[in-house]
Amino acid sequence: MREIMTAMARVTGIAFEPEIAPRRAGDPDRIVATGDLAARDLDWRMTFTLDEMVDSAWSARQAATA
């Protein structure tokens, strides 16, 4: 999650410090998001970097609120 937050700040230019709180009931112990298993099992490869995905989402959000 920290990696995503860092990318959000880097791409948007908005400096922020996320609030870290205790896990809520039902939250997983950890979240892992890599394409390694999909690459191995499905012959799938990521097309975009994390920064490119964040930039795309940020641009769409900016366009929707304009």
Rounded to whole angstroms, what are the CA distances from 55 to 3, 9, 31, 65?
Answer: 14, 11, 22, 15
pLDDT of the residue at 39 = 87
Alpha carbon distance 44, 6 (integer Å)? 26
HSE of 13, CA atoms in CB hemisphere, 13 A? 1
- pLDDT band (50, 70, 90) for residue 57: very high
Residues 8-52: pLDDT tens digits? 999 999 999 988 899 999 999 887 777 888 888 998 888 999 999
pLDDT of res. 36: 85
Largest CA distance in the chain: 41
The helix/strand/coil state of 65 is: coil
Residue bearing the bigger pLDDT, 55 or 29: 55
Cα of 53 vs its chain's centroid, Å: 8
